Structure 1
Amino acid sequence: MSRIDAFSLDGHALRLFLAVLEEGSVTAAGRLGLSQSAASHGLIRLRGLLGDPLFVKSGRGIVATPYARGLAGPAQALLDGLQGLVRMDVFTPASARIGFTIAANGFQRDLLLPGFFARVEAQVARLSLRVVPSGAPSAALLREQGCDLIITPFPPAGTDILQKRLLTDRYACFYDAAARRPPETAEAYLAARHITVLHPEGEALDFDRRLEAEGLQRDIAIRVPGFDGVAAFLRGSAMLATLPGLLRHGALRGLAHAPVPLPPARGRLGALPLYMAWHRRDQQDARHAWLRGELQATAAALREAAPDAAP
């Protein structure tokens, strides 16, 4: 490989390289405001400078060479450094007027965002918070769709996507104490009728998928499209609902709950981490960093109120 003139590289070329690497297509340059022709010429120039093809055809798409994959981390670090040079701003909450968009599904929205809004609004001049559904969150939400932050148990993958764990939950068995006692054995639990959640996209809860994969069959009487639809069916019935335990602070407030009587090795009742995820472009932004800190503080306050919600 020929000697590389590092000073011939520029931020635009590195940003183009990372965009194509992240999406596996030259059409990714569209989100940078570049035509496909301009992107192709930019990659040709970058290939010449680096002495490597960077991307090669594979079927109908392209794949990165080993050199290109190894270049991703250093290229992103260089971009972060360049952005840091022009982001020497000082953020003063008391005079700030903030518009912020967060993607979260019903459970995460109701659990964290009312407290987050109250906490931030008390410290800034004005706060306007827009909440959109995250669904099964994709990196495109942060890359292209004007979203500042995602709150989700399953953060999207990407070299340009950063994440931080906010708290950890566990599944619990919810029931109406006026209508029945908690199931004390695996046999009693599996023999009961159950209510569960089937997301609008047709995706079952992770817990339900794991039990089915292990051959554990339950009698599912009702499937609803969101957590907020469970309580009305559960009250006054002998049915059970196995859902994230922290719902006792929200949609399932007032209902009884107990541990799920299945051996962890079979039911795989492991931890349920909850993350916030954001795009790397916002990593050095003082306003964004402060808001991330306030969301972490909101989660910490919830953990204090619910000690079993581990960090």
Structure 2
Amino acid sequence: MQFTWEVGMTATRMDLNLLKVFDAIFEEQNLVAAGKRLSLSQSAVSHALARLRALVGDELFVRTGKGMAPTVRAHAMAPELRDCLNRIDAALGVAPFDPKTSTRRFFLAANDHATVVIVAPLLRKLRRAAPDIELVIRPSTRLDLAEQIDVGRIDVAIGIFAKVPPRLNARLLLSQGEAVVLCKDHPGARRKLTLEDLATYPLVTISVGGQEEGAVDGFILERGLARQSEMLNRHALEGALAGAGLRPRQRVTVPHSLAIPELLQGTDMLAIVPLTLAKALARGGQLRTRPLPYEGGTSSTSAVWHRRNDHEAAHLWLRDMVASVIR
């Protein structure tokens, strides 16, 4: 369907399909990939981009060794244009969403823990409900996560967030505590662990950012979104040990939770991780899980998205599918 609109007070008319070209190039950052997404040839995409550049008076995308990098003007335009396209499609009913036939690509942000616990079962569910839909998982640990959501390059971010700004929305997926993971041959693998164990045996912890990245109390704040940087309630641990006159023995901090099995294998180290991750790591049979010997509290995993997608049919469906995996 072709659309045109009047621009300003001039006689210039603009084909709104150019905005779909802009949106595709912005998301793919590659002319060939944008063309495939729109069923257009590369020359047609290049011609449309040239028209857009002339109309806007900006290069919009600059060719680099990695593809087409958006300019500052393109970054500023992208969220509003994506919102406009969604609203037009929703208002006219020109883009009904049927998961059984859709070939849409969704972009999720998740760390390796959320990928194992949530995304893996989600994929198994999508295999039946939406066989041609594609998921692209991007790291939720990247420092520009909030910006990626703002400009529409992330549909849904999954993680633990201490603060969500008003322009974003959130849905609680899971509340859970922590557990200790240790090698099956560890001296504490077959008994109840004590606070003395946590002060005696060295600890492996997971952190994707410290004070040097601006983390405060285990969270990094960017553009109003505070995301978890440390996968451990350190205040609870240190407070419990301090009450007994003890201190934890920190041995190694890693950015990836899936490195823990190899690190613990054949050692006397302990790791304190979210309960769902502890259970997932122990499935292989080489690790054991034990309850915390103190009150560790709970953390809440949520799905976060931009409010402009609140009522968009495909987004609603995706968020419901993620929530159904948890249920």
Instruction: Report the TM-score, using the length of structure 2 for normalisation.
Output: 0.60
Please point out which of 241, 250, 256 is paired with 1:226: 256
Say what the alpha-carbon RMSD is for the aligned residues: 3.2
Q: 1:211 to 1:28 in 2, by over 3 A?
A: farther
Q: 1:124 to 1:185 in 2, by over 3 A?
A: closer
Please point out which of 136, 144, 154 is paired with 1:147: 154
Q: 1:238 maps to what in 2? A: 268
Q: 1:128 to 1:89 in 2, by over 3 A?
A: closer
Q: 1:248 to 1:242 in 2, by over 3 A?
A: closer
Q: Deviations over 1:210-267 (max 9, x none)?
A: 54477742111222221111111212222211111111343443321111112x2xxx
* Larger CA deviation: 195-204 vs 161-170: 195-204
Q: 1:104 to 1:90 in 2, by over 3 A?
A: same
Identity, in percent, stands at: 21
What is the alpha-carbon distance in structure 2 between the residues aligned to residue 149 and residue 222 of structure 1?
A: 31
Matches within 5 A, 1:242-257: 242-253=272-283, 254=285, 255-257=287-289
Q: Give yes or no for contact 2:168–2:304 (8 Å, CA) kept in 1.
A: yes
Instruction: Report the TM-score, using the length of structure 1 for normalisation.
Output: 0.63
Q: Give yes or no for contact 1:197–1:225 (8 Å, CA) kept in 2.
A: yes
Q: 2:124 maps to what in 1? A: 118
Q: 2:134 maps to what in 1? A: 128
Q: Deviations over 1:71-126 (max 9, x none)?
A: xxxxxxxxx99996456854222221121000001101111112112212322251
Aligned residue for 1:120, secondary structure, equals helix
TM-aligned CA deviation for residue 32 of structure 1: 3.3
Q: 1:297 maps to what in 2? A: 324
Matches within 5 A, 1:150-189: 150-154=157-161, 157-181=164-188, 182-189=191-198
Q: Which runs of 5+ in 2 are unaligned?
A: 1-71, 80-85, 214-228
Q: 1:173 to 1:249 in 2, by over 3 A?
A: closer
Q: 1:155 to 1:144 in 2, by over 3 A?
A: farther
Q: Deviations over 1:103-153 (max 9, x none)?
A: 001101111112112212322251111100011674212112511000001
What is the alpha-carbon distance in structure 1 between the residues aligned to residue 322 and residue 289 of structure 2?
A: 27
Please point out which of 76, 81, 85 is paired with 1:31: 76
Aligned residue for 1:113, secondary structure, equals helix
Q: Is the counterpart of residue 284 in structure 1 residue 311 in structure 2?
A: yes
Q: Which runs of 5+ in 1 are unaligned?
A: 1-26, 35-79, 301-311
TM-aligned CA deviation for residue 289 of structure 1: 0.5
Q: 1:271 to 1:207 in 2, by over 3 A?
A: same
Aligned residue for 1:167, secondary structure, equals strand
